[in-house]
Amino acid sequence: MGQGRRKDFGEFTAKLEKHIEKLPDYAQRAQEKLQRYIPPSEQGSSSRPAQSRPVQPPRPRPPMPQMPAMPKISQQLTSMASGQIPVVAEAKAKWARWNEPAAKLERQKRRTSRALTFWILLTILCGLYAFVAGAGLLKAGQADVLQAIAGGAFTVIFGTFGVKSGLRLRTLKRTVLPAAPAAPPPLPPARSVARAPMERLVESEASLAELLRQLSQPTSLGTMPVSEIAVADARTTAAEAAQALRGLAGRIQAIERGRDSAPERERGALDAAIKQLREQLEDGLDGYGGLVAAAGHTVAASSDGMTSSKESLSDATDKLAGLAMALRELS
């Protein structure tokens, strides 16, 4: 067994020596194959040793064309991502402007003015025709009388239409459009802690407006549920309180923006301030809700002639007035 292993090792050594002897031949063949891929102008320099070759600086690459700024495309992509396609949004805006009461009134005025001008022109032409025919300037004999009568009839008809158009135009010019309702103020962003309280405030405002509207109308018995002064006082106090609450919500949003851009070590104190203001905002909404509840009780008890609910409305109004004053000082 030992002799067999020695024999195999000897054969391996002989083969290895044979390949080592052929290494120069392998190198020469590789050089010949390499010469086929080198241009003729560089074949002479390829035979030089690597150390004697001059180092050629790398060829400068052509500058890459810069992409143009595309602010409009980015704005369009942003609007599409938010669900507002520019073309659709523009069409909606035009349609809204077309349906505005002021725009409709202006179109009616223009149409009526054109109709008035048209009837006035026809009346003048028919009047001239009747005058010429009646004066015998057409030289048509007995037909002049019939033409004059026809011209006079058309003059009266077209004049009547002109008078109607003039009266309608006068009425349109005296028309006073009702004041457009004020657009509701925008709500805070969804990530803001003031978003939910402001949504609650919007709902409370709608409920209170309806309740106060009912309190300002006489009941089936012909009596007023509460005095007009109390209703006006409650409405004014509610508007002042809502404005103070929105001012406090705006302050919370400002602190939130400052917290987002502040260093990490400063955000804890800002979070504590936001939390405190959020509690004050909730207290203000509770006071506003107390006024809504008092107005609801007053509406429910108005048919029975109870006075306790009327007094509770006045008390809730006074409490909300004091709360609104404190909120204005905070905001």
Q: What is the pLDDT of residues 142-174, one digit of tens each?
A: 566 787 888 889 999 999 999 999 999 999 999
pLDDT (mean) for 318-329: 71
Top pLDDT among 234 and 116 is at 116
CA 324 centroid distance within chain:
31
Q: What pLDDT sits at residue 42?
A: 52
Helix (H, G, I), strand (E, B) or coil at 108: helix
Q: What is the C-alpha separation between 172 and 110, in angstroms, rounded?
A: 10
SS (H, E, C) 252-297: HHHHHHHHHHCCHHHHHHHHHHHHHHHHHHHHHHHHHHHHHHHHHH
Q: How confident is the model at residue 71 (pLDDT cuts 50, 70, 90)?
A: very low
Helix (H, G, I), strand (E, B) or coil at 61: coil
Picking from 89, 92, 153, the residue whose alpha carbon sits closest to that of residue 127 is 153
Which residues have CB under 8 Å from 200's CB, separation 6+?
Answer: 285
Least confident of 20-29, 188-197, 267-276: 20-29
Burial class (CB in 10 A: 0-12, 13-18, 19+), 13: exposed
Helix (H, G, I), strand (E, B) or coil at 34: helix
pTM, two decimal places: 0.48
Q: What is the pLDDT of residues 111-136, one digit of tens each?
A: 999 999 999 999 999 988 888 887 77
Residue type at 56 in one-letter notation = Q
Would you state the structure tokens that stand for residue 208, as one six-digit string? 């209170």
Half-sphere exposure of 40 (CA within 13 A, CB side): 0
* CB of 101 closer than 8 Å to CB of 177: yes
Q: What pLDDT sits at residue 131?
A: 84
Q: What pLDDT sits at residue 61?
A: 55
Instruction: Label residue 148 left, alpha or beta by phi (over 0 means left) and psi (-120 to 50 means alpha).
Output: alpha
Whether 5 shows a pLDDT value over 70: the answer reads no
Q: What is the pLDDT of residues 76-87, one digit of tens each?
A: 544 444 445 677
Q: What pLDDT sits at residue 234?
A: 85
